[in-house]
Structure 1
Amino acid sequence: MAGGTEIVAVDIGGTHARFAMATIADDGSITLGEPVTLHTDDHASFQTAWEDYRDRQGGTLPDGVAMAIAGPIDDQIIRFTNNPWIIRPPLIREKLGCSRFTIVNDFAAVAHAAARAPAEQFLHLAGPDTELPATGTISVLGPGTGLGVAYFWRGDGGAVHVQATEGGHGDFAPVDAIEDAILARLRKRHNRVSDERVVSGPGIVDIYQTLAAMEGRAVMDLDDIAIWTAAALGDDSLAAAAVDRFCMALGSVAGNIALIQGAGGVVIAGGLGYRIRETLLNSGFASRFTAKGRFSGLMATLPVKLIVHPQPGLYGAAAAFAKEHCA
């Protein structure tokens, strides 16, 4: 294509697979087309979802593919953390009909997006209201079907290195009696309780049910979508309390990740974070983020932002492709 490279960008999570056409201009800028969102439960495999998208695009697609995957990346077989699909990288060219492809972890893709995004695509959440540092490490994390964690590092010369991690699977560390009760509830089902069991979309169910039990209420059999919806509508004070508790736990985890990674700033990402942004701003998120004992002073110096790009996974996947194939 004259003046640029056209590719398919794909962002596959536990619940949704998003597809979009992307154009990488000669100057490295990226333009995304209108995304198409498919439910992973509606397709037996990634291959059938790809074919569905291809049919929606008239039966032909570009021969470059950028994929963001919710799970660890392997060069032989990729198994998703929160859905049953399998992808075999050695077969991608044959199965998808492409000549070039890039595969990155979904939160590595978000980190690529955060490293490129201009200041106006970030909402200030906590810490000093300044831009993210121009050099050093920035932690990137976000709750969705699971809890994604990555980071990027920027050098003095503008070089950017992105690192995927599985930091969402670190041990959940309660800091008060309510979180002790949440952990105790989860331990009845899991030998080991990770941060992802609490700080993710589905985690709201155990938070809600723990609060109900502590108040002596009958535990209602609500799914996570019902609880998030009830909290957003203001129909259920217990649901609202559960969401506030979720924000506090997210603040604690985000602070832990920043300490572990030696970050100079933090980016919260994901559709769930964006949907509850007003609650995050008015919750205990910020105080929990900085509540790190002897390092509370340090934590208070870190800017914490929410990325508001509408499709950071797709944009970041395309950015990763551009870095690998178009640099």
Structure 2
Amino acid sequence: MQIICGDIGGTHARFALADIASGGDVALGDVATFATQEHVRFEDAWEEFRKSCGGTLPNSLALAVAGSVTGNIISFTNNDWTIALNTLRDDSGMKRLTILNDFAAIAHHAARAEDADLVHLAGPEQCFAGEGTISVLGPGTGLGVAHLHRDGHGGYHVQASEGGHVDFAPVDDVDDALLAHLRRRYDRVSAERVASGPAIVDICKVLAKREGATPFDLSDVEIWNRGLEGSDDLAAAAVDRFCMILGSIAGDVALTQGGWGGVAIAGGLGLRLCKMLQSPGFAARFSAKGRYADLMRSIPVKLVAHPQPGLTGAAAAFCIQHPEACA
């Protein structure tokens, strides 16, 4: 059967049609990407996608959203959209609707991913465990966190979370300075404030102050571009620091969730950081957990290489929720 897949984040909304074969294999069609800031409402982007498909859409939808899925109204942490599920069903004629957190969707993708589709970052070069918990997280406009538990018999269960909003725990003097800098703006500094795309601006400002340099007035996108291409030393140092902080947070997530079976890093920013995350700094921070350092070094950490794991994962979740439609 054919369904609509959507992945709504803080910066982009992505839609695609997906063909689901018997047994649940998903074949994703062309992906339409819309900037959320260029569309006042979710419905505007939805209508644009509908028109691009010739005006007719399937009556089944799998939707991943960057926020908590509770009640009829879906609100987003990092954009101003809301989605009224009852209205979406009525106005679009959806007969089947699966809606889930975006990183829960990515966890569904990770649960089904072949090891060849995962890039080794740290820890032993081995497959994720067939039984036990696998932690899933990734930076983007925010910081998404979820996990999945494999039962050892081919089945699994996904649990969404808002783990990106736990407190930031500094590790060294630079982290301390970053926390102090952010505390002047926020009553409480969460992990998302230091390990998401926009955070690179604050990291850069803190490093510039410590080094006596003049901080440049650039957007997060410009800093990321300069840092990743190595054209600016301060931006490159900020990217290095970001990867170290992400390593610390990834280790904390694994400790909290019992993710001994593996840790999956995902998201568009994660893909851009692939080579940087293979550096010693990320791995050292991931395993620097005191008396549990040896345990942390035994956990395989991998990057989800698929460009659209939220869409394919949403489709996988749809198959689980509506097995009669995917048989």
Compute the TM-score of the two structures, normalised by the length of structure 2: 0.97
Most deviating of 198-207 and 150-159: 150-159
Whether 2:141 is the aligned partner of 1:107: answer no
Alignment correspondent of 2:38: 42
Q: What is the Cα deviation at residue 75 of structure 1?
A: 2.2
C-alpha distance in structure 2 between counterparts of 1:11 and 1:90, whole Å: 19
Most deviating of 125-134 and 88-97: 88-97
Spell out the pairing of 1:194-213 with structure 2 (5 A cutoff). Answer: 194-213=190-209
Matching residue within 317, 322, 325 for 1:325: 322
What amino acid maps onto 2:137 in structure 1? L
Equivalent runs, 1:258-273 vs 2, <5 Å: 258-264=254-260, 265-273=262-270
Contact kept, 8 Å, 1:47 with 1:95, in 2: the verdict is no
Aligned positions of 1:92-131 closer than 5 A: 92-131=88-127
Please report how far the alpha carbon of residue 283 of structure 1 lies from its aligned counterpart in structure 2 after TM superposition: 4.5
Q: How does 1:188-227 map to 2 (within 5 A)?
A: 188-227=184-223
Deviation string, structure 1 residues 55-83 (Cα, Å, up to 9, x no partner): 01110000000000000001221100000
Amino acid at match of 2:276: T
- Equivalent-residue separation in structure 2 for 1:95 and 1:66 (angstroms): 16
SS at match of 2:86: helix
- Equivalent position amino acid for 1:326 in 2: P
Contact 1:148 1:167 in 2 (8 A): yes
What is the percentage of aligned positions where both structures have the same residue? 57
Count of residues paired in the alignment: 323
Which SS does the other structure have where 1:284 is aligned? helix
* 1:281 aligns to 2:278 (yes or no): yes
Partner in structure 1 of residue 76 of structure 2: 80
Secondary structure of the residue aligned to 1:115 is helix
Secondary structure, counterpart of 1:130 in structure 2: coil
Shift of 1:209: 0.5
Secondary structure (helix, strand or coil) at the match of 1:49 reads helix
Match for residue 158 of structure 1? 154
Q: Is the 8 A contact 2:107 2:158 kept in 1?
A: yes
Match of 1:167 in 2: 163
Residue 305 of structure 2: aligned partner: 308
SS of residue paired to 2:72? coil
After superposition, where does 1:1-12 map in structure 2 within 5 Å? 5-12=1-8
Structure 1 residue ranges without an equivalent (≥5): none
Q: Secondary structure at the match of 2:153?
A: coil
1:61 alignment counterpart: 57
1:135 aligns with 2:135: no
Structure 1 SS opposite 2:62: strand
Q: Report whether the alignment pairs 1:245 with 2:278.
A: no
Alignment partner for residue 29 of structure 1, among 25, 32, 39?
25
Q: Is the contact made by 2:228 and 2:239 (CA closer than 8 Å) also made in structure 1?
A: no
In structure 2, give the amino acid aligned to 1:169: H
* C-alpha distance in structure 2 between counterparts of 1:273 and 1:48, whole Å: 29
Q: Distance in 1 between matches of 2:183 and 2:91?
A: 42
Which amino acid letter does the alignment assign opposite residue 317 of structure 2? A
2:256 aligned with 1:257, yes or no?
Answer: no
* Corresponding letter in the other structure for 1:45: R
TM-score, with length taken from structure 1: 0.97
Displacement after TM superposition at 1:89 (Å): 1.5
SS at match of 1:199: coil
How far apart are the structure 1 equivalents of 2:91 and 2:125? Answer: 47
**Aligned with residue 292 of structure 1, among 289, 292, 298:** 289
Post-superposition offset of 1:254: 0.2
Q: Distance in 1 between matches of 2:309 and 2:74?
A: 21
Give the superposed CA RMSD: 0.8
Comparing 107-116 with 27-36, greater Cα deviation is found at 27-36
CA distance in 1, matches of 2:142, 2:92: 27
Residues 244 and 283 in structure 1, CA contact (< 8 A), matched pair in contact too: no
Measured after TM superposition, the shift of residue 222 of structure 1 is: 1.2
Q: For each residue in 1:246-296, what CA deviation from the matched residue of structure 2 results, as whole angstroms up to 9, or x when unmatched? A: 000000000000000001210000010111111111240000000000000
CA contact (8 A) 1:247 1:283 kept: no
